[in-house]
Amino acid sequence: MGRLFGTDGVRGLANGQLTAELAVDLSVAAAHVLGEAGVFNGHRPVAVVGRDTRVSGEFLEAAVVAGLASAGVDVLLLGVLPTPGVAYLTAELGADLGVMLSASHNPMPDNGIKFLARGGVKLDDAIEIAIEKRLREPWDRPTGAGVGRVRPFDSAVDLYAKHLTETLPRGLDGIRVVLDCAHGAASEAGPRALRDAGAEVVAICAEPDGLNINEGCGSTHLGVLQRAVVERGADVGFALDGDADRCLAVDHEGNVVDGDQILAILALAMRDAGTLHADTVVATVMSNLGFVQAMRREGVGVRQTKVGDRYVLEMMKAGHYSLGGEQSGHVIMSDHATTGDGILTALHVLARMAEKNTSLAALAGVMTRLPQVLVNVTGVDKARTDEDALLAAAVAEAEAELGESGRVLLRPSGTEPLVRVMVEAESADQAQAVADRLAGVVRTQLEL
C-alpha cells in the first residue's frame, strides 16, 4: 500500500476514498503526533481550519473539527478562504496547526485535507509518515474541560485581504481588471483585495454554489476570461484556481500570459526593487527555454528543480531565494507568503504595470516562448530511461541538432508507466519532428 499523503496532503474522491471517518482519524492522529513532538509545549493547542467552496467541504470540515476538538485542540473556523489565506492566518494568529480542505484545481467531486505546521508551512515528511502510522490507534480521550472548543473566526477574509494589499509598493488606481475566481475559495477575498488596492474589478465566476467550482472556468479553462477581458475592454485579466494558490493572466487583447511570463515579469520587478535575493529566480525543468534565455539576457540567474511546487519551495528555502514558480502559474513570493498565492501574484503584476505605466503584453514581451511539444509514451519501462545507451545517443543527437536554440527533456512519470518527451525548438515543426523521433526510440528501447 502506498503512502496516504501525496505531494499536497491527502486527496481523493470525497465520500469515496476521502471519508468523514478518515478525516476524523487523520485529525486525531495529527494532534497526537504534534503533541508528542513537543509542538504544543504544554499549552492548550489551537488550530485554524479553512475550506474551499465544494459541497463536500461542509461535512469534511465538521469531521476534521470533531477530530481535533475530541483530541483537546481548540479550533477557529475560518470558513471559505484560499489556501494561502489559511497559511497566512496559521502564522498570524500563532496557531499550532492549520488545516485546509481543498482539491485545488481538481473537479468538484474530489476534495483534500492539507495540514500546515506552525508558521503556515508544509508539514515535514517525517511528521506526515508518523500521522499515517498512528491512524486509528487506541488513545486516552480528554473529558470535561479537556475537550477542545470550537469558535467561528469571522474576520478571516478581512485580515487576509489587508495583508495582501499591504505588500504592495503602490496603488493600482485606474487599472481595469477582470478576475475569474473559478467559483472557488477566492470568490470574496480576491475581488476585495484588488478593489482595496485601487483597481477597478469585474469579478466573474464568483458565485459558488458548492457544485460549480472549477467548472468551465478558472486557470484550467481560460476561454471565459479571454472573452470577458475583450468584451469588457479591460486592461488585464487573471484566472485563479479553486483554492487560489495559482493564477494565469490574459492581456488586453485576450492573449494568455502563462506562469513563465508572470515569473519573468516579477523577477525583473523585484530585481529593480532590490528584493530579488541573489538576483536569482527558482523554476522547474519544464519552464520554457525562452524564460531561461530572457533571464540570462537580463542578468538574472535561474535555478531549476524537478516538477512540483514542493521542490521549488525546497530550493528556495535552501538558497534563501525570494521568488520561484512553475509554468502552471504557481508563484511563490517568500517575502510575503509561505506558499503560492494567486491573488498576491496578480496584485504584484498589476503593481508592475502601474509602475511602468504599460500593458501586460509589453511586460510579457521580455521573453519569447519557444514552441514546446510534449509527447507521452505509454506502456514502457520508465525505470530504464536513464540507463539505455541507444536512447542516450538519440537524445545527444537531438540536442546537437537543436543547439542553444532548443532543448530536450525526457521525464519518467511519477505515477504512470510512461515517459514524457518534451522538445523545444525555434519552430513548431522542428519541435514536433524531434519529439516524434525520440518518442519512437523510447518506445522501441524501453518496450515492456
Torsion over CA of 21, 25, 26 and 30, rounded to 10 degrees?
A: 160
Give me the amino acid identity at 177.
V
Number of continuous H segments (helices) and E segments (strands) in the chain: 14, 19
329: left (phi over 0), alpha (psi -120 to 50) or beta: left
159 to each of 12, 52, 88, 153, 156, how far by Cα in Å? 31, 17, 9, 11, 5
Q: Closest Cα partner for 113 from 2, 242, 6, 240?
A: 6
Active-site choice (27, 56, 102, 104): 104
Residue 215, class by beta-carbon neighbours within 10 Å (0-12 exposed, 13-18 middle, 19+ buried)?
middle
Give the residue ranges of the annotated binding site for Mg(2+).
Answer: 104, 241, 243, 245
Cα 263–Cα 264–Cα 265 angle in degrees, nearest 5: 90
Q: Is 6 helix (H, G, I), strand (E, B) or coil?
A: strand
Residue 7: per-residue pLDDT: 76
Cα separation of 345 and 193, whole Å? 12
Give the residue ranges of the annotated binding site.
Answer: 104, 241, 243, 245
Residue 38: per-residue pLDDT: 82
Residue 41: per-residue pLDDT: 81
DSSP per position, 346-402: HHHHHHHHHHHT--HHHHHTTS-PPPEEEEEEESB-GGGTTT-HHHHHHHHHHHHHH
Residue 415: per-residue pLDDT: 64
104 belongs to the catalytic site: yes
φ and ψ of 199, to 5 deg: -80, 155
Cα separation of 90 and 48, whole Å? 6
Task: Please state the CATH superfamily assignment of the domain spanning residues 372-445 in this structure.
Answer: Alpha-D-phosphohexomutase, C-terminal domain (3.30.310.50)
Domain pair 10-154 / 372-445, same fold:
no
Residue 1: per-residue pLDDT: 45
Give me the amino acid identity at 129.
I
Q: Is 411 helix (H, G, I), strand (E, B) or coil?
A: strand
Average pLDDT, consecutive stretches of 10 residues, N- to C-terminus, the chain (448 residues): 78 96 97 88 93 98 98 98 98 97 95 96 92 91 96 98 96 94 98 97 98 97 98 98 97 97 98 98 94 96 91 95 96 96 98 97 96 92 88 93 91 80 93 95 89
Q: Say which CATH topology domain 159-364 has.
A: Alpha-D-Glucose-1,6-Bisphosphate; Chain A, domain 3 (3.40.120)
φ and ψ of 140, to 5 deg: -85, 115
Q: Which three cell numbers stand for residue 84?
A: 494561502
DSSP-H helix ranges across 172-288:
189-196, 223-232, 259-273
Domain boundaries, the chain: 10-154, 159-364, 372-445
Q: Which three cell numbers stand for residue 66?
A: 470533531
Residue with cell string 543527437: 397
Cα separation of 175 and 318, whole Å? 37
Taking the complete model, does pTM exceed 0.85, yes or no?
Answer: yes
Task: Tell me the sheet residues that pair with 98.
Answer: 48, 116
Cα separation of 338 and 333, whole Å? 8
Task: Tell me the sheet residues that pair with 114.
Answer: 100
Q: Which three cell numbers stand for residue 300?
A: 538574472
> 10-154 in CATH: which number?
3.40.120.10
Q: E strands within 310-358?
A: 323-325, 331-333
